Amino acid sequence: MIRYLKIILVVFVGLQGLSYFIANTINFDYALLAVGEVLSQRDSPAYQNMILPPVTDPLLLKLALVIIMTGELLVGVLCFIGAFNMLAAAGKPAAVFEASKKFAILGCGMALIVWFGGFTVIGAALFQMWQGQIGVASFEGAHMYLMPSGIILLFVAMKDD
């Protein structure tokens, strides 16, 4: 029973990553605008002296968005591979099931890299995205995504005897 719960939760992390990848793909121009707003630091009234210089080059902004979207896609793909592997090993001995978790753990870890590393560390800390309206919405959203992903990562990584 616990094994199937872990599989379902990994699928949900994968759906989350894939959903945001698709949303950013079909709303690419708006996503690019949001990334540009954060990286340009135009809406950062609280701190006038920033850690990093503003980024306004259109090519660098597109590159940043593509990196974010690639991370989101990897969350989905890795989690789905992991869930499939775990499902195939669900009825097998504990050692086999433990080995089947590798991609699920990588997928959940990628979710933390994207939404903690990318949005909380780089976006919020280095680019001060929490100061602007668009940035704070992205920052708060990322926090909502990373918390369940981290909890699920810990739950999935727990040994199954």
**Which tokens is 34 given?**
């949001």
- Give the Cα separation of 56 and 35 in Å (integer): 10
Backbone angles phi, psi at 15, to 5 degrees: -65, -35
pLDDT at 112: 98
Q: Give the pLDDT means over successive 10-residue stretches in the chain (161 positions).
A: 96 98 97 93 74 92 98 98 98 96 98 95 87 84 92 95 72
Domain boundaries, the chain: 2-157
Mean pLDDT of the chain: 93
63 CB-near residues (< 8 Å, 6+ apart): none
- Give the Cα separation of 125 and 71 in Å (integer): 19
Helix (H) or strand (E) holding 75: helix 58-89
